[in-house]
Amino acid sequence: VKTWDGVSYRADSDRFCVNVYNFSDAEQRIAPELQLPAGVSVAQAPAEAALVLPPRSETPLVWTLDFSGCKDAYYRIRLHDTGFPLAGCTVPFVNWSFMAKTTFDFMNPERWRQNSSGASTFSFDAVEQALKVSTTFAGSNSDRWVFPEYVLDAGSEQLANAVGIGFSIKVKRGGNAGRIWAPLVMMAYQDENEKGKYDGLRYTDPQDEWREVFVSFNPDRAGLYKMIRVGMCTSSDQIDYWLKDVVIYFRP
């Protein structure tokens, strides 16, 4: 349970893991307790010995949970110490498998519009079965970014009640040089090229191997979105990245 999208953690495991720190010079005993949503129970708790923290130590604690009775797409788990019940922390989760989902014409290169500080081309990679975005930057250009735009069809591509977007992505930098930062999905409120307001949602740093991404957004605003951008910034002279399995998730 570790994939954070800026709104919630993805519920992709039956384990709840935390690290507990003892900054004092004395041994400390703790009494952690979980408050679980309806239908969730503890299958295995941390060993009793793990609840005694050595001086100046870090101790991992792991609970194995049984979710068989939980039918909630959204839920929260709260952790606190029984001796300090008001000093707990609450962690939000989303179970994407419970969501309704659909896809649009994302694999069609003609549906994507240039939006970068370089020169971008779009193609369908038959080997990868993915959309390929290739961008080259001038050597004199130090502000290098690529966020191509997918303008939603107002008649057939509605996002009302949508809660998030999922996709798989991988990236290749020219000469394997340079770095990547600010990987973002931009949910835009207008369809004008490069301009206007948007909700910027960070996704997991892309790598040279396929990585699955889930990004949540506010379903109460989703119906206002008119365009989707998916991209990143780089220091490389040239960058390729691939998108596939692009899915829009809706409230169940």
204 Cβ partners below 8 Å, 6+ apart?
3, 183, 211, 213
Domain boundaries, the chain: 9-98, 100-250
Q: Report the alpha-carbon angle 222-226-232, nearest 5.
A: 90
Give the pLDDT confidence score for residue 75 in this predicted structure: 86
Q: What is the CATH code for 100-250?
A: 2.60.120.260
Return averaged pLDDT per consecutive 10 residues of the chain, 252 residues in all: 55 86 96 94 94 96 92 88 90 84 97 96 98 93 94 94 94 81 95 86 92 88 95 94 96 78
Give the pLDDT confidence score for residue 7 in this predicted structure: 56
Beta bridge partners of 36: none
Query: What topology is assigned to 9-98 in CATH?
Result: Immunoglobulin-like (2.60.40)
Nearest CA to 233 among 163, 186, 192?
A: 186
d(CA 95, CA 29): 34
**What's the chain's length in residues?**
252
d(CA 201, CA 218): 11
Burial 167-176 (b: 16+ CB within 10 A, else e): bbbbbbbbee
Give the pLDDT confidence score for residue 174 in this predicted structure: 75
Beta bridge partners of 89: 79
